[in-house]
Every structure is written in structure tokens, then in C-alpha cells.
Structure 1
Amino acid sequence: MTQLLYFSAQWCRPCKAFGPRLTAEADARGLELLKVDIDGPNKHLVDEFGVSSVPTVLVLKAGKVADKFGPLSPQYLRARLDAAEEGIAQ
């Protein structure tokens, strides 16, 4: 199963704009979306996955990172998720 690991922060303006778009796309595709607040209790994941800015999305397939990207337009987000689901890394 493909999972999306979404790193964001309460204070991040781009996160507030991109988050709803990502959530809607994940819901439409039936993808599991796991949200990580970089200032919250799971902030150790920031270092574990090498996240250096927010928003950042990691696409996980079988528990391994298949893709990593920042905020995208709706068109590019769909294309990136299509490629990840088909197993084609960008």
C-alpha cells in the first residue's frame, strides 16, 4: 500500500495552502495520509527522514521512500502521485 507522510507545521503558510489539496487528493485515491507536525511529539521523524523544509511529502511504498517532494500545483501533484503509484520514481 502507498502511504503519504506529510511534514508540516502550524506556523507554515505554504502548509496551510498545500495541506487541504494533498488531503483531498489522498482521499480521492484512497491513500493513507500520515501527518507529522515538525514541532510535535513525532519531530524525531524529521531527522530520521532528512526533512529540511516544510511542507514536505514522502511517498512510502512497502515502508520505503519512493519519492519526496514539496508543495506542488494540483496538476503536478496528481502526476507525481500517479508516477509513485505506478512505481515510477520522479
Structure 2
Amino acid sequence: MSSELIKDITDASFTLDVLESELPVLVDFWAQWCDPCKKMAPILNEIAEAYKGKLTVVKLDVDENHATPAKFGVRGIPMMTLFKDGSVVANQTGAVPRPQLESFIEESLKQN
């Protein structure tokens, strides 16, 4: 279901995969049972392809990884959190169409 450009990460790999990444990282906090999360999957695949080399897209299953969602205040899913230079830049909660997600990414990267 996920593109080969999207990596599944865990609490254990979060620091290396996200906080220490040289590229900005869009983290998709999701769960298997979440229908809106499933609706976002193809959009995230398209984003990963469109932003290849400029942005990394990763997925973190909130049911299997509790520490990271708690640390970053994830209260609803899907939640896309954009990290740059190891810090949270912005959050987008809920399923959104691709143009809205692209606008969120572009505006967030411009401001930071």
C-alpha cells in the first residue's frame, strides 16, 4: 500500500529517521483501523514522489508506538506533522485533499 519512498518508522527509530534527518520530514501518525488514514495513503504516496529529494515522508503507527505520539501531543489521526532541523514546524490533522496538503507543506516550509 505504501510507496517505496515512504518508510515505516518506530519510537526507536524516530530520532534517527526524523529528528536527525537532513531533509524536512512529514510524519504521518496513523493506525490500521483508521479509515481517514487509509484515504490519505495514496495522497501521501503522491506527495512522497512529488517532493522526492526535498522532503521525506514517513509513517508511524500510533497503536504500535506510544511514546512518540504522546511526546508530540497526537490526539487525533491522521495527523501529519512537519519537522525541519529536528523541530516541529506545523501540524495538519484529518484527511485533506492533495492540494490542501501541498499548500500546508509549502507554507510551513516557507515560514521556517
2:99 aligned partner: 75
TM-score normalised according to structure 2 size: 0.72
1:19 and 2:31 matched: no
Q: Percent identity?
A: 30
Q: Distance in 2 between matches of 1:59 and 1:19?
A: 16
**Code of the aligned partner of 1:77:** L
Please list the CA deviations of residues 13-51 of structure 1 after superposition, one character each: whole Å capped at 9, or x if unmatched: 0000012202211221122112110111x2211101100
Aligned-CA RMSD value: 1.3
Moved over 2 A (4+): none
C-alpha separation between the residues in 1 aligned to 2:66 and 2:87? 19
Cα distance in 1 between the residues matched to 2:45 and 2:87:
21
* Residue 6 of structure 1: how far off its partner (Å): 0.8
Identify the residue that residue 84 of structure 1 maps to in structure 2.
108
Amino acid at match of 1:85: L
Residue correspondence of structure 1 range 1-90 to structure 2 within 5 A: 1-30=23-52, 31-40=55-64, 42-70=65-93, 71-86=95-110, 88=111
Higher alpha-carbon deviation: 75-84 or 47-56: 75-84
The whole-number CA distance in structure 2 between the counterparts of 1:6 and 1:75 is 17
Moved more, 50-59 or 75-84: 75-84
Q: How many residues align?
A: 87
Whole-angstrom distance in 1 between the partners of 2:44 and 2:70: 22
Which stretch of the first structure deviates more once superposed, 51-60 or 17-26? 17-26
Task: Output the TM-score relative to the length of structure 1.
Answer: 0.87
| Ranges in structure 1 where 5+ consecutive residues have no aligned partner | none
